[in-house]
Amino acid sequence: MLPTIGVQELHTGCVSVLRACGLSEAAASAAADVVVYAETRGYPTHGLNALVRSYVPGLRSGRIDPAAKLEIVRRTGAVAAADGNRALGLVSAAEAMDLACGIAAESGVGFVTVRNSTHFGAAGAYAHRAARVGMIGLAMTNCGRQGVIPPLGGTVRMLGTNPLGAAVPGGERDPFVLDMSATVAATGKVNQARKRGERVPEGWLIRPDGTGTTDPAEYADGTADVLWLGGLRETGGAKGFGLGLLVDLLCGPLAGAGYGPRPAAFDGPQEDDDIGHVLIAVSPEAFGHRADFERSVDELLGTVVACPPAAYADRVAYPGLPEAERAAGAEADGVPVAADLVAELGEITTELAVPALPFRAPAGGEG
């Protein structure tokens, strides 16, 4: 059993921490929305883990500018290009998706790029943000100039895990929400396993000689790499690699941001500066009657769920449904948080002189 915290208390605590790091109330609330989204929907590596080990250190060191504003540098029709000015990516991406939704309400589609940003957390949070206002949402990001994964068949780390999120709202049903990296697993999960002394599943890591390993330390020391979605070329790895490369092409050259596959990559690791995002919103109303669309989405998703499960599965679901159920459970029972993160958060709140987050001890133990 793990310590838990209520969803609202978690949001309030995140806002306090981020405000102490220099963010405005509105920016801190938008960023906390993304952290809470990740924690309540089963993406802990992009929730408090990222807040404690990436966002707060970045803000306190000056690598992330807490006062930066999203700057629209070009607007043409339904397209806008923005500069994040080194703001916290959670804030830049949320503002950019809101802008895309506003454009889509007028033009049917809104396409916004962001350059010079930082890590934006869970891609699905921004797609879901669009779905909450009745829009179809797409969100993607690269890792800027940093390379954490080599191209398929290569040995030099040039690309990020390059995640993307997509959401389609229905009527009565929870929306379809896809949140995925182009790799078989996010590198954050590998690093988390190493920190906790755990192994990773078979099929996550591969050495240059083609043999697999379950030791996450081998990724950290550079003797093994995370596989692309699909694994090897023979099992569909070209699909994951192609998807990752597409995200870098859109979030890098198109957005005017940094990208990993550049000659400097051969000289050694690069910093994750100048990260690029793409946020897209589509209005279903632009294509016809909204009620018909919602009814059809509900029917489609409902039919998927009604499919009889195979012997190896408990049920059939669609992307977004288990996560919505998890979020509902978190609202009722609180969010479980690993003890090491609770301790680190305690240290941070003390250093920042803000109230400690009110974690509840697990039943029968201490938190």
DSSP string of 256-284? T---S-SGGGGGS-----SEEEEEEEE-G
Q: Give mean pLDDT, residues 251-268.
A: 94
Locate 218 and state its tokens.
Answer: 């081998």
Q: Give mean pLDDT, residues 257-279.
A: 92
Taking 60 as the threshold, does the pLDDT of residue 270 lie above it?
yes
Q: What is the pLDDT of residue 367?
A: 43
Question: Rounded CA gap, 256 and 251, in Å?
Answer: 8
Question: Rounded CA gap, 294 and 301, in Å?
Answer: 11
Q: Domain 68-180+234-332: give its CATH architecture.
A: 2-Layer Sandwich (3.30)
Bridge-based pairing state of the strands 109-117 and 275-282: antiparallel
Domain 185-226, CATH class in plain words: alpha beta
pLDDT averaged over every residue in the chain: 95
Q: Give mean pLDDT, residues 187-196.
A: 89
Structure confidence at residue 365 as a pLDDT band (50, 70, 90): low
Taking 70 as the threshold, does the pLDDT of residue 366 lie above it?
no
Locate 256 and state its tokens.
Answer: 């005017």
What is the tens place of the pLDDT at every residue in 275-332?
A: 999 999 999 999 998 999 999 999 999 999 999 999 999 999 999 999 999 999 999 9
Locate 235 and state its tokens.
Answer: 């099992």
Instruction: Kindly report the CATH number that applies to the domain delimited by 1-67+337-367.
Output: 1.10.1530.10
Q: What is the pLDDT of residue 5?
A: 97
What is the tens place of the pLDDT at every residue in 137-160?
A: 999 999 999 999 999 999 999 999
What is the tens place of the pLDDT at every residue in 193-252?
A: 998 899 999 999 999 999 999 999 999 999 999 999 999 999 999 999 999 999 999 999
Residue 138: strand pairing partners = 166, 280
Please report, for the chain, the start and end positions of each structural domain, with discontinuous segments joined by +: 1-67+337-367, 68-180+234-332, 185-226
Taking 60 as the threshold, does the pLDDT of residue 41 lie above it?
yes
pTM, rounded to two decimals: 0.95
Residue 219: what residue type?
Y
Q: What is the pLDDT of residue 84?
A: 98
Of 1, 5, 23, the closest CA to residue 13 belongs to: 5
Taking 60 as the threshold, does the pLDDT of residue 166 lie above it?
yes
Locate 352 and state its tokens.
Answer: 């920042």
Q: What is the pLDDT of residue 285?
A: 95
**Is 44 within 8 Å of 191 (Cβ atoms)?**
no
The beta-carbon contacts of 29-32 under 8 Å, at least 24 apart in sequence, are: 30/90, 30/91, 30/94, 30/95, 31/55, 31/88, 31/90, 31/91, 31/94
Number of neighbouring beta carbons within 10 Å of residue 207: 12
Q: Give mean pLDDT, residues 342-367.
A: 88
The share of the chain scoring above pLDDT 90, in percent, equals: 93
Taking 60 as the threshold, does the pLDDT of residue 184 lie above it?
yes
Structure confidence at residue 268 as a pLDDT band (50, 70, 90): confident
Locate 27 and state its tokens.
Answer: 């920016």
**Is 286 within 8 Å of 293 (Cβ atoms)?**
no
Domains 1-67+337-367 and 185-226 share a fold: no
